[in-house]
C-alpha cells in the first residue's frame, strides 16, 4: 500500500488495528501453522459433518486461484471496500 503522508499512514494503521486481530493475539499465545491447520480441519469436519481427505490441487483449481487473485483479490476495489 502506498501512502504519501506519515499522518495518513498513522491514521490508517490505527483504523486497521481497530478492525483486525490475530489468532496469536486472541489466544494470547503463539499458534503454529500446523495447529491452526488441524483446528480448521476439525472445525470444517464437525460443522459440516464430513471427513476431509488429503488430495492434490487440480490444474483447474490452480487456474481459478490465479484468476481470482488477478481479477478480484488484487484489485483496489476488493481491498479497500467498506
Predicted local distance difference test score (pLDDT) of residue 81: 77
**pLDDT per residue as tens digits for the range 1-58:** 444 556 556 666 667 667 778 899 999 999 999 999 999 999 999 999 999 999 999 9
DSSP sequence for the chain: ---S-HHHHHHHHHHHHHH---HHHHHTS---HHHHHHHHHHHHHHHHT------PPPHHHHHHHHHHIIIIITSHHHHH--
Model confidence at 78: pLDDT above 60: yes
Predicted local distance difference test score (pLDDT) of residue 1: 45
**The model's pTM:** 0.55
14/64: higher pLDDT: 64
Amino acid at each position: 500500500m502506498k501512502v504519501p503522508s506519515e499522518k495518513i499512514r498513522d491514521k490508517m494503521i490505527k483504523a486497521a488495528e481497530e478492525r483486525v486481530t490475530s489468532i496469536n493475539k486472541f489466544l494470547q499465545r503463539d499458534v503454529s501453522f500446523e495447529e491452526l491447520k488441524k483446528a480448521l480441519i476439525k472445525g470444517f469436519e464437525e460443522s459440516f459433518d464430513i471427513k476431509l481427505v488429503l488430495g492434490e490441487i487440480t490444474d483447474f483449481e490452480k487456474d481459478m486461484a490465479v484468476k481470482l487473485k488477478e481479477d478480484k483479490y488484487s484489485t483496489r476495489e476488493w481491498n479497500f471496500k467498506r
